[in-house]
A and B are shown apart, each in its own frame.
Chain A
Amino acid sequence: MRHDPHKLVEGCLIAGVAMRACAAYIYIRGEYVNERKNLQRAVKEAYDAGYLGKNACGSGYDFDVHVHFGAGAYICGEETALLESLEGKQGKPRLKPPFPANAGLYGCPSTVTNVETVAVSPTILRRGPEWFASFGRKNNSGTKLFCISGHVNTPCTVEEEMSIPLKELIERHAGGVRGGWDNLLAIIPGGSSVPLIPKHICDDILMDFDALKAAQTGLGTAAVIVMDKSTDVVDAIARLSYFYKHESCGQCTPCREGTGWLWMMMERMKTGKAVIEEIDMLWELTKQIEGHTICALGDAAAWPVQGLIRHFRPEMERRIRERAASEIEAPAEATG
């Protein structure tokens, strides 16, 4: 949106006409102030050129595009929370059903889509659907914006085809892992909401929906976070737990209480201030949150911790044992 907002505006028009909608609201994050101004300028230019508004593009179809912005709440990315925020209330998700396609914004039928999907639609129409489907494996076709961050040599955002091997993605575009591929500890392939995968899985996994689901993780938002051997992985996941605790809207009990509880336990796991059975308690806690919440933030908070326990349990046990051993050696200093 800094450099090519018109793609999104055109995509909105195409999507709206395809659905016979009368208006589109682009919900942009509150923190993206300069990008929002850019987008508003692009929308105004489109109106001035007659591409939007009454008789859009001279086709006889009326279509309006409005830019709305939030004010710093991650939960407003969830579709019903977005609708609540657009209506001017707190961004607390609604129960589904009724789905937004039946009762959405202001009670009217609405669809909430990701801007990446909408922005790629003009190109698909220009080049043909077969061209787009030629990228990636079956059921996983098309391109995706991969944001590679963390311990790589040159972090970047690339639009790559789906089903690209993870190793090739990182080595070609991000300059490889800091210190060489063997310095890799774990990768989170899809942003904060998906479990991490350790190095032996990363060696040959493909970046698409099916392959990552088979590895008990997910593609998510394709925000690849790379962690090398210098990382304190328990600290990284604890920080994610804090993020979810901060961003929880507070509506339903499993998420509101669960995210706080998860964070407190993870903080103790960082220094090993726990007993071994508490790892199982942590696992059970994530299972209690997952699937029992109004929206998917509960699942998103639970999954990274599950990934940590699944793949890095020995590391967590090691910390607990070491701390217990040091407490036995120096009982006078152990205040617990």
Chain B
Amino acid sequence: MSHYPANYKQSAVIPLLDLAQQQHGGWLTISAMNKVAEILGMAPIRVYEVATFYSMFNRTKVGKYHLLVCGTTPCRLRGSCDIEEALLKHLGVERNEVTSDGLFSVGEMECMGCCVNAPMIVVADYTKGAEGYTYNYYEDLTPKKVIELVEILRRGESPPPGTQNPDRFNCAPAGGQKTLLCEPKPPPCRDLDAC
């Protein structure tokens, strides 16, 4: 709340709701929203408006590991439907349903901004409360790899986040970058005194 002018505390509503969600195992209750309204001096309806508008706020129970598959066109072209189908089949649930042990739930998200590492999923980890909250992208998946990932999570371990393709570094192409392969030519800066 220190980031915003003192008379505009309302700006902190998204960070506070996010924190409340992490503290509560991944979803927001009306009482949590009312408390946020009280802290910020807002009418509760304004907080309800924000909680219903943004897609990352869950208003119903989710699993301790909430798995979100990106389903928009670039990921879809690379097979995100197969990933989602493999997950739902393996866990034995429908979309947005929680497994009977309460550990996993699968949802679909719109574009996560990770199109060059498609297909991908995000794992929102609510097992360790707000301090241990992680929201990791797992990219460059295949149906086989995503099942392995789920089993690693089930054992309570953390798989390495980011691209699961060992040939790639971040968003560079597999096999390394194709240009700028040598040292840059000097000077890196023009003569600032000359202007």
Residues in A lying within 8 Å of B, measured CB to CB: 2-3, 25, 29-34, 66-74, 85-91, 106, 126-128, 131, 147-151, 154-158, 172-175, 192, 223, 225, 227, 231, 236-237, 239-240, 243, 246-247, 249
Contacts and interface: CB of A to CB of B under 8 A. Distances in A.
A237 B188 CA distance: 44
Contacts of B11: 68, 86-88
B14 A70 contact: yes
Given A73-B54, A126-B189, 17 more contacts: A33-B135, A34-B134, A69-B14, A71-B54, A71-B55, A88-B13, A88-B40, A106-B8, A147-B115, A147-B116, A149-B74, A149-B78, A154-B174, A155-B115, A156-B174, A192-B111, A236-B77
B77 A150 contact: yes
B18 interface: yes
B8 A89 contact: no
B112 interface: yes
A239 B78 CA distance: 14
B166 interface: no
Interface in B35-60: 40, 42, 46, 49-50, 53-57
* 8 closest A-B pairs by CB: A88-B10, A71-B54, A156-B173, A72-B56, A154-B173, A33-B135, A149-B115, A72-B55
B92 interface: no
Given A30-B56, A173-B173, A192-B111, A85 B14 contact: yes
B110 A148 contact: no
Interface in B164-179: 170-175, 177-179
B132 interface: no
B193 to A, nearest CB: 13
Interface in B125-151: 134-137
Nearest to A223: B115
Q: Is the interface of A mostly helix, strand, loop or mixed?
A: mixed
B156 interface: no
24 contacts: A30-B14, A30-B54, A31-B122, A68-B11, A68-B15, A69-B15, A71-B54, A71-B57, A72-B56, A87-B10, A87-B11, A88-B10, A88-B40, A89-B46, A89-B50, A126-B189, A147-B115, A149-B116, A155-B78, A155-B117, A157-B171, A173-B179, A239-B72, A246-B55
A317 to B, nearest CB: 23
Contacts of A68: 3, 11, 14-15
Contacts of B76: 236, 239
**Size band of the interface chain B makes with A:** 35 or more
B74 A225 contact: yes
A67 B14 CA distance: 12
Given A71-B55, A149-B118, A106 B10 contact: no
A88 B12 contact: yes
B71 interface: yes
B170 A31 contact: no
A150 B74 contact: yes
A127 B187 CA distance: 9
B190 interface: yes
B170 to A, nearest CB: 7
Given A33-B135, A88-B14, A89-B49, A72 B73 contact: no
A103 to B, nearest CB: 15
A172 B180 CA distance: 13
A86 B12 CA distance: 8
A126 B188 contact: yes
Contacts of B137: 34
Given A68-B11, A127-B189, A236-B77, A173 B178 contact: yes
Contacts of B174: 154, 156, 175
A239 B108 CA distance: 13
Contact of B73 (A2, A32, A240): A240
B82 to A, nearest CB: 14
Nearest to B118: A149
A56 to B, nearest CB: 17
